[in-house]
A and B are shown apart, each in its own frame.
Chain A
Amino acid sequence: MKRELPIAITFICAFILTLQYFIPHRSFEIMYEISNIWIQIIGVFAMILGIISLIMLHWEKIKHKKENWGFSIVTLASLVGMSLVGLIASENSPVFEWLYNFILAPISATMFALLAFFIASAAYRAFRARTVVATILLLAAVIVMLGRVPIGSLISFGIFPKMAEILVNYPNVAAKRAIFMGVGLGAAATALKVMLGIERSYMGSD
């Protein structure tokens, strides 16, 4: 029951859902439509599970006074505060929107903006024309960097944008297509392994 039943559930669901592509009958269509809503409903509970896990993690840190436990209080207090405002008032309430606009939005926007500094530093340190392959990588990056901004056109009389366009539309397409074909084959093989119960890592250990 611990492993056999989940494998059977996976197989039945996967088999029916695969089959419905090839049997254009209304009963299969309805099954497909119902499964789409089921995924969404189960998905909500999965997300709630994730949030409860987060709460438990920080609660444990506070309880056992682990390193930086004070910051865990910040996390839990802000989580409770934000959710109470949203659940009691509504997601359209001015207070909830204020918290979103002036706390959540600037923080997440700035977190990602930090990456600009690190990528510049990484480009300076790591981009060395050590080998032929590294030189090709470097040149492609520089051409795209200059070709995709207006100044690239000005300093090269339109050559950089044209070169960037060719690089992006031909070698880049070839490279990405080769990669995506590999990804597609890998994904289909893994999906079949899951369906047939060969791949079971999603069940975790006993």
Chain B
Amino acid sequence: MSTDPGIWLAAILTLCIFSFLYKDNPFYKFVEHLSVGVSAGYWLVIIIRQSLKQTFLDPLIQGQWQLVPGKLGIFLLIFPAFMGILLFTRFSNKWAYIARYPIAMLWGIGVGASIPLSLQNYIIRQLQATMVPITFNSWEDVGSLFIAIGVITGLVYFYFSKEHKGAFGGAAKVGIWILMIGFGSTFGFTVMARVSLLIGRVIFLMKDWLGIIS
């Protein structure tokens, strides 16, 4: 059994959380709130020391921004910080609307940078990968045909502007079967992921804390 107080603390916190499996209780609630506080504190430290300091404060103190030299660079560096500070006007009822300016900027930049790439990645590249020549020379070709049929019927299922009847309804039915296989696969993988996380904690308790296994 471990003699490290840190391991003991971690083990006790682990057991407090597992106690929720029996029913909700004050030990679990305590650890839950502790988790929120510690995480937020950690966030604050990392974003200030690892991000704000290096991308903003350091170049500002040095009086030179690598990207744009000279006084213009310093202005262009201070500007986003000024916009960032405007976010805090949300705490005032009177001035809260000013916070919309930096938010609008974030949205604008995000949207502008993503429109062409989203279309390319989610639509064009996926269409290209679906529209492949099928020669029936290998099993992969059969698979490609299956994918093409699956994508078309899947899209038909999501098309609600026409009633799902007749041939269209049949295609939609095949589409939902394909989608169900996709969701089933995801569920299988999800079970796997969650069990892996449990294994990690049990190994910690049995190996690092209790020392039962090597």
Query: What residues make up the interface of A, taking CB atoms closer than 8 Å to B?
Result: 1-3, 5-7, 9-18, 21-22, 30, 32-35, 37-49, 51-52, 54, 56, 68, 71-72, 74-83, 85-87, 90-91, 96, 98-117, 119-120, 123, 132-133, 136-145, 148-149, 164, 166-185, 187-188, 191-192, 194-195, 202-204, 206
Are B44 and A83 interface neighbours, CB within 8 A?
yes
User: Do A40 and B55 have beta carbons less than 8 Å apart?
Assistant: yes
Q: How far is the CB of B41 from chain A (nearest CB, A)?
A: 3
* Residues of chain B contacted by A30 (CB below 8 angstroms): 67-68
Tell me whether A44 and B182 are in contact in the complex, defined as CB-CB below 8 angstroms, given that A75-B33, A91-B45, A170-B147 are known contacts: no
State whether the Cβ of B132 lies closer than 8 Å to any Cβ in chain A. Answer: no
Q: How far is the CB of B39 from chain A (nearest CB, A)?
A: 6
CB of B107 within 8 A of chain A? Answer: yes
Of the four ranges (under 10, 10 to 19, 20 to 34, 35 or more), the interface on chain B belongs to 35 or more
Given contacts A10-B107, A178-B154, contact A136 B42 (CB under 8 A): no
- Is the C-beta of B50 less than 8 angstroms from some C-beta in chain A? yes
Q: Is the CB of A178 within 8 A of B151?
A: yes
Interface residues of B in 65-107 (CB under 8 A from A): 67-68, 76-77, 79-81, 83-85, 87-88, 90-91, 97, 100-107
Give B23 Cβ to nearest chain A Cβ, in Å: 13
B210 at interface (Cβ–Cβ under 8 A)? no
